[in-house]
Amino acid sequence: MVGKRVEKANLPTKTCAACGRPFTWRRKWKDVWDEVKYCSKRCRGSARFSSS
């Protein structure tokens, strides 16, 4: 057995700090999931400009 498969419906989700939409865990975030706040690069970039 190579890896453990998880159903997409059972993946953890968070709410984006910029747009407020829910987003789902991605494999590239497996090591930094606790630090992820934004669903995309676009939201991360727009959050910088709207904070002032």
Give the mean pLDDT of the chain: 88
Q: What are phi and psi of 14, to 5 degrees?
A: -140, 170
Cα–Cα distance measured from residue 49 to residue 52, given in angstroms and rounded to the nearest whole number: 6
pTM for the whole structure: 0.73
Which tens digit of pLDDT belongs to each residue from 22-45?
A: 999 999 999 999 999 999 999 999
Residue 8: which pLDDT band, with cuts at 50, 70 and 90?
confident
Pairing between β-strand 13-15 and β-strand 22-24 as defined by DSSP bridges? antiparallel
Compute the residue count for the chain. 52
**What is the predicted pLDDT for the residue at 6?**
74
- Secondary structure element (H or E) that encloses residue 24, with its range: strand 22-24
Share of the chain above pLDDT 90, in %: 67
- Secondary structure element (H or E) that encloses residue 41, with its range: helix 41-50
Contact between residue 17 and residue 10 where contact means Cβ atoms under 8 Å apart: no
